Structure 1
Amino acid sequence: MPKQVDAVAQRRTIASAAITVIGSAGIEGTRLRDVAAAANVTTGAVTHYFDGKDAVLEAAFEEVVRRVLESPVALPTTPGDIAECIDIFAVYLPLNDEGLGEWRVWLSFWARAMNDARLRAVHQRYYSAIIERIAYRIATIGGPTVTRTDLHARADAVLAAIDGVGCRAVLEPDSWPADRQRETLSRLLLPMLTAFAHETRSSDL
């Protein structure tokens, strides 16, 4: 009887392999046979599940986002603890080799999406999910009068700060070790989140 193949698991295996290959070779230098070798499958298996390099890139990007959204990062243990909240946001930065590889996929996807409306739509959909998660954490800082619009505006700013620090770290990894990334993110977010917490407390008076 032929061996049953879990298509979802196989796609994720190939996507994970693509993250590794894209991270080291870049999207232009990535070949499907290299992805196949990294996934320990045949090139035919890759082309069976994915229609070309862009589809592999999209799957790699989807896998990166899945890891972000499913990472076991808890809410701050003390409501209103801004420093702990910033530490949680720092987890999204490329703090190690695995993170650098994932961010290289992220930036490769950005480059493709700039001239591809379909990929831009994928980007917007996943970014919306990440914004929701960030907003959920920011809600621990504010008071009961905080609106959804307020939370999303702050979440957009937080994600912009993460993107900015992350891009610098990917482009200049030797100059941006983990400690510098965390410190810079804190410098960007601490004034904003402190002001946000003060605004919400004042509105409760």
Structure 2
Amino acid sequence: MPRVANHGLRRRQVAEALLRVVAEGGLDAASLPRVAAEAGTSVGLIQRYFRSKDDLLEFAFDHLYSRTLERLAAVGPADSVREGLARGLAVLLPLDEERVREGRMLLAYMARASVNPRLARPHIEGTLEIRRLTAAALRQAERDGEVAPGIDPEREAIALAAYVDGLAVHMLSAPGSLTPSTARSLLDSYLNRLFTGRSHG
């Protein structure tokens, strides 16, 4: 029987190759010949799946954000909202080699996305989804008495997401200046200031 190409799989393989190239050398290194060599394929095959480099970049970083959201969804059940939120937000920090590589990719990508609305779409959608999940957790925490009544969950979610982003940028842009253990401790301190209700602890 003739072999049937799995086009979705091939597109993801090319995207993964692009992300590896970007993690190692930045977006400037991500020429189609370099990506093709990394993927073990040809430039012609890549061009069958992606009409332009921006098409490939958009797909690759959409794939990266989807992978991050899958990690968030895989966070196991927790005894409290605070514990679950701490576990989920820690997923967003570059605490291991894989997430360090992904973080480098995101830094390189965001610089280009800041001047290209089309490329900004995956980042905007991913950020809004993280804020939505965080706000939902904070609303549940308010109902459970883990946080003080009357907080603004949406506003606090924006602040918390921005704080975690800041920790990640410090860890990636100045390696060694902020260790994973210190980043976790700072995140815990932030959550301790927020989760002051009777059920906390």
Q: How far apart are the structure 1 equivalents of 2:16 and 2:134?
A: 24
- Matching residue of 2:85: 85
Q: 1:137 aligned to 2:112?
A: no
Q: 1:177 aligned to 2:179?
A: yes
Alignment-mate amino acid for residue 182 of structure 2: R
Q: 1:12 to 1:138 in 2, by over 3 A?
A: farther
Alignment-mate amino acid for residue 28 of structure 2: E
- Matching residue of 2:61: 61
Q: CA shift at 1:160, angstroms?
A: 0.4
TM-score, scaled relative to structure 1 = 0.81
Post-superposition Cα deviations, 1:151-190, rounded to whole Å, max 9, x if no partner, equal: 3222212210111011111112222332122122223333
Q: Is the 8 A contact 1:162 1:185 kept in 2?
A: yes
Q: CA shift at 1:31, angstroms?
A: 1.9
Q: Is the 8 A contact 2:61 2:122 kept in 1?
A: no
- Matching residue of 2:170: 168
Q: CA shift at 1:115, angstroms?
A: 1.3
**1:11-30 residue pairs with structure 2 within 5 A?**
11-30=11-30
**1:75-114 residue pairs with structure 2 within 5 A?**
75=77, 77-80=78-81, 82-83=82-83, 85-114=85-114
Q: Is the 8 A contact 1:21 1:35 kept in 2?
A: yes
Q: How far apart are the structure 1 equivalents of 2:186 and 2:48?
A: 44
**1:185-200 residue pairs with structure 2 within 5 A?**
185-191=187-193, 193-195=194-196, 197=197
Unaligned runs of at least 5 residues, structure 2: none
Q: How far apart are the structure 2 equivalents of 1:110 and 1:23?
A: 13
- Matching residue of 1:48: 48
Q: How far apart are the structure 2 equivalents of 1:120 and 1:111?
A: 10
Alignment-mate amino acid for residue 194 of structure 1: F
What percentage of residue pairs aligned between the two structures are identical? 29
Cα RMSD of the aligned pairs, angstroms, is 2.7
4+ residue stretches of structure 1 with deviation over 4 A? 144-147
Q: How far apart are the structure 2 equivalents of 1:143 and 1:150?
A: 13
Q: How far apart are the structure 2 equivalents of 1:194 and 1:40?
A: 50
TM-score, scaled relative to structure 2 = 0.83
The number of residues matched between the two structures is 195
Post-superposition Cα deviations, 1:34-93, rounded to whole Å, max 9, x if no partner, equal: 222222222222222123333222222111111111111124x2134x255323311211
SS in structure 2 of the partner of residue 93 of structure 1: coil
Unaligned runs of at least 5 residues, structure 1: none
Q: How far apart are the structure 2 equivalents of 1:87 and 1:136?
A: 15
SS in structure 2 of the partner of residue 54 of structure 1: helix
Q: How far apart are the structure 1 equivalents of 2:57 and 2:191?
A: 31
